[in-house]
Structure 1
Amino acid sequence: MQEDFLHYIWQHQYFDRTDLRTTDGQLITVLKPGYRNADAGPDFLTARLQLDDVEWNGAVEIHLKASDWHRHHHQTDPKYDQVVLHVVYEADQPVQRLDGSVVPALPLAARIAPHLLQAYHRLLEQPTSLLPCASHLPEVPEITRTSMVERALLERVELKAATVSALHQRLGDDWEATAYHTLAAGFGFQKNSEPLARLAKALPLSVLRRHRHDALQLEALVFGQAGFLAENEATITDEYVTKLRQEFEFLRHKYSLHGTGLAVHEWNFLRLRPANFPSVRLAQLAAVLHARPALFDALLTATDLPALLRFFQVPTSAYWRNHYRPGVAGKVPALGKSSIYLLITNVVVPLRVAYAHHTGQQEQVESAVALLNLLPPEHNHLTDDYAALGFQHRNSADSQGLLALHRAYCEPRRCLHCAVGSRILQRNSVNQ
């Protein structure tokens, strides 16, 4: 059993409350169980309890064994002096506060219905199932499943937006620089997101701004700092790469960029189709930077999906339409719609949500998330498996919600924090 199960039991009062008493015989009336504390300190705060004839207002701490109080050193922590009830599965020993006073204990082992405990174990002990609750899904109303996917989606978007907000703070509250760094990482499309994020650090926006008007100089800076301009057999006779190299040598000296860039071995090519090579993505990023001098304003004010598609549908320079890597020829397709949809999902939406929080415009949060309803669903083995189990999968909002549900709840077996798992356990709870 995990301690989270007891948290769930206490929060929803899913135990036999008949003649509820502490280990020393005090009659307990739960007036308010309190709210879960997400920070350091006791598990539930602002609880209201009546012990015999005295009403207490304070905290509730929960452990599997009462002795965990000492194992966690709560007896020496003043934050736990506010605990008025110690809820445990097994009361194996009395515990004290910092001043030596005994904390009343409530053991729950004999008060939890066996079928509820069995249902909990069945959920958490499914060996390989995609969803621990898969066999119980027919018992769960569709509205419960849908609302949980929506909740997981919002949590996923907010987590991405929090990353953008932290980046914005590190960049001195510069939204244009924040858009540049976020866009650069987005063009990595997972496999090369990390090296592209490092490239943005190695190639400051203040330098790029001075050369955005000149596509050759812009590409020289991008490919030079990325480590793709070293002379080798493929590039030794390539006139365009030679021009880029010459421009970069001049600009690197001018802006003291020596030793700050990446090496070509730091980029991931393995198992990527040529159209997804990092060199192709760098060329596409350079094209957007050249064509959109005001990145943040353009990303913020594109009012609909066609406008966002136009933002990204910028042709690369002639060389990169016919080369996958420096010196390696081949016809290269333009940035496809599926890639643009991913950029809207992972760059535009989090950026807009972070800015909406920064400016206190809650309606803009809803507007940004609503963009995902306009995008087609993403198909992979996870989303397809969830759809096969009856979850709605109509658009990118559903896809993102299902991925978030899997990664944040199903995979780590956080069934007690999920509305679907909670609903299943409710059917097994004791009727009070």
Structure 2
Amino acid sequence: MQEDFIHYIWQHQYFDKTSLQTEAGEPVTVLRPGNRNADAGPDFLGARLQIGEVEWNGAVEIHLSASDWPRHQHQTDPKYDQVVLHVVHTADHAVRRTNGTLVPTLALASRIAPELLQRYQALLTVTPATLPCASFLPQVPTITRTMMVERALLERVEQKAASIEALHQQLGGDWEATTYHALMVAFGFQKNSEPLARLAKALPLSIVRRHRHDARQLEAVVFGQAGFLSETIETENDHYLAGLRNEYAFLAHKYNLAATALPTHAWNFLRLRPANFPTVRLAQLTALLHARPALFDALLTAADVLTLEQFFAAPLPEYWREHYRPGRAGKVAMLGRSSAQLLIINVVVPLRVAYARYVGQPELTESAVALLNQLPAERNHLTEPYEALRFSHRSAADSQGLLALGRNYCEPRQCLRCAIGSHVLRQNKVVQ
């Protein structure tokens, strides 16, 4: 058993309250269990309880065993002096505040329905590769599943939006620069997100803006700063790259860029198909920066997914249509539709939500999330278990919700925070 189970039992009052009393024999009436405290200090604040003849307003602390109180040094911490009731599974120790007064203790071990505990343990003891609630799902209404997936989706979008907001603040409130940085990272498609984040810092938008209308200069400064213009055996006779190298040398000197240029070894090529090589992604990114001068405004105002897909479909520089790596010939296509859809999911939607929160217009959040319903569902090994259990999986809104459900609830076994897990446990709750 974990302590969060006792938190759950107390929060929802899923225990037998018949003749409820403290270990000292004082009758207890719960008038308000309090609110979960996410910060330091007692677990529940604002509780209202009647203990004996006295009505108390204060905090409730939760432990598996009462002896956890001194183990956690609460008897020396003034924050815990506000505790009016210590709720535990097992009362094995008398506990005191900093002034030596006893804290009333309520033990729940004999008041929790065995069926409730069995279901909780069943959720936690399934094999890691199995969804905890898989065997219980036939008992869970479809509406409960749907609402939980929607909740997980919104949490995922809000989390991504919070990262955009932090980036926006770091960049001095410049939404265009925020969009530039977010797109650079996203163009790494996980494998090369970290070096692209470094490149965004090493090549500020202010420099890109000055040269974005000159395709050759833009190409030179992007590939040069990324570390791909150094002469090698493969490129020593490549006159086009030699020209870019000269152009970059001039720009690097002008803007003092050489010290922050990335080394070639910073990039990941291993186990990537040529279409996903970082050089290909840089070519596609360069094409976008050259063809689309107002990134933020375009991504914010695009009416639908089709418009956004067309926005990302910028024609490649001529050299990179025929080379997937410097000096290595091979046909290269424009950014594919599936890649554009990933950029909509990972950049456009959270960017719009972050801006909606910034300007205080929640309707913009709704329209941003609605874009996910226009996109096809992602299908991979992470969503397959949910499809097998007949979760709705018709759009990217569904798949993003399922990914969040798996990562934030199922994998870490956070069943007590999940509406599905809560429904499973409620089948045998005891409330009197």
| 1:391-410 correspondence to structure 2 within 5 Å | 391-410=391-410
1:285 alignment partner, SS class: helix
Asked whether 1:96 is paired with 2:99, we answer no
Asked whether 1:193 is paired with 2:201, we answer no
Tell me which residue corresponds to 1:385: 385
Shift of 1:128: 3.1
Q: Are the aligned partners of 1:130 and 1:410 in contact in 2 as well (CA < 8 Å)?
A: no
Name the count of aligned residue pairs: 432
Asked whether 1:376 is paired with 2:376, we answer yes
Q: Are the aligned partners of 1:187 and 1:285 in contact in 2 as well (CA < 8 Å)?
A: yes
Asked whether 1:113 is paired with 2:122, we answer no
Task: Measure, in 1, the Cα distance between the counterparts of 2:21 and 2:389.
Answer: 44
Task: Measure, in 1, the Cα distance between the counterparts of 2:384 and 2:412.
Answer: 20
Please list the CA deviations of residues 282-336 of structure 1 after superposition, one character each: whole Å capped at 9, or x if unmatched. 0111111111111111111112122211210111111111110111111112211
Asked whether 1:224 is paired with 2:233, we answer no
Moved over 3 A (4+): none
Q: Are the aligned partners of 1:152 and 1:401 in contact in 2 as well (CA < 8 Å)?
A: yes
Tell me which residue corresponds to 1:308: 308
Tell me which residue corresponds to 2:17: 17
Q: Are the aligned partners of 1:416 and 1:422 in contact in 2 as well (CA < 8 Å)?
A: yes
Kindly provide the amino acid, as one letter, of the partner of residue 376 in structure 2. P
| 1:26-425 correspondence to structure 2 within 5 Å | 26-425=26-425
1:85 alignment partner, SS class: strand
Task: Measure, in 2, the Cα distance between the counterparts of 1:121 and 1:51.
Answer: 32
Kindly provide the amino acid, as one letter, of the partner of residue 194 in structure 1. E
Task: Measure, in 2, the Cα distance between the counterparts of 1:120 and 1:13.
Answer: 15
Task: Measure, in 2, the Cα distance between the counterparts of 1:98 and 1:367.
Answer: 53
Q: Are the aligned partners of 2:13 and 2:431 in contact in 1 as well (CA < 8 Å)?
A: no
Q: Are the aligned partners of 1:280 and 1:324 in contact in 2 as well (CA < 8 Å)?
A: yes
Among the aligned pairs, what percent are the same residue? 70
2:132 alignment partner, SS class: coil
Task: Measure, in 2, the Cα distance between the counterparts of 1:250 and 1:200.
Answer: 20
What do you get for the CA RMSD once the two structures are aligned?
1.0
Unaligned runs of 5+ residues in structure 2 are none
Please list the CA deviations of residues 119-153 of structure 1 after superposition, one character each: whole Å capped at 9, or x if unmatched. 11110011234311101100100100110000000
2:55 alignment partner, SS class: strand
2:31 alignment partner, SS class: strand
Q: Are the aligned partners of 1:409 and 1:417 in contact in 2 as well (CA < 8 Å)?
A: yes
Kindly provide the amino acid, as one letter, of the partner of residue 380 in structure 2. N
Task: Measure, in 1, the Cα distance between the counterparts of 2:261 and 2:126.
Answer: 48
Kindly provide the amino acid, as one letter, of the partner of residue 237 in structure 1. N
1:14 alignment partner, SS class: coil
2:268 alignment partner, SS class: coil
Shift of 1:239: 1.5
Please list the CA deviations of residues 101-121 of structure 1 after superposition, one character each: whole Å capped at 9, or x if unmatched. 111100111111112111111
1:235 alignment partner, SS class: coil
Q: Are the aligned partners of 1:130 and 1:411 in contact in 2 as well (CA < 8 Å)?
A: no
| Gap change, CA 1:431 and 1:88, over 3 Å in 2 | closer
Asked whether 1:429 is paired with 2:429, we answer yes
Task: Measure, in 2, the Cα distance between the counterparts of 1:341 and 1:105.
Answer: 55
Shift of 1:264: 1.2
TM-score, with normalisation over the residues of structure 1?
0.98
Shift of 1:271: 1.3
Q: Are the aligned partners of 2:225 and 2:258 in contact in 1 as well (CA < 8 Å)?
A: no
Please list the CA deviations of residues 45-67 of structure 1 after superposition, one character each: whole Å capped at 9, or x if unmatched. 11111112211111111001112
Q: Are the aligned partners of 2:128 and 2:411 in contact in 1 as well (CA < 8 Å)?
A: no
Kindly provide the amino acid, as one letter, of the partner of residue 218 in structure 2. L
Kindly provide the amino acid, as one letter, of the partner of residue 189 in structure 2. F
2:382 alignment partner, SS class: helix
Shift of 1:431: 4.3
Q: Are the aligned partners of 1:376 and 1:395 in contact in 2 as well (CA < 8 Å)?
A: yes
Kindly provide the amino acid, as one letter, of the partner of residue 203 in structure 2. L
Task: Measure, in 1, the Cα distance between the counterparts of 2:398 and 2:236.
Answer: 49
1:232 alignment partner, SS class: coil
Task: Measure, in 1, the Cα distance between the counterparts of 2:128 and 2:28.
Answer: 42
Task: Measure, in 2, the Cα distance between the counterparts of 1:70 and 1:292.
Answer: 62
Task: Measure, in 1, the Cα distance between the counterparts of 2:264 and 2:160.
Answer: 28
Please list the CA deviations of residues 137-185 of structure 1 after superposition, one character each: whole Å capped at 9, or x if unmatched. 0010010011000000011111111111111111111111100000000
Unaligned runs of 5+ residues in structure 1 are none
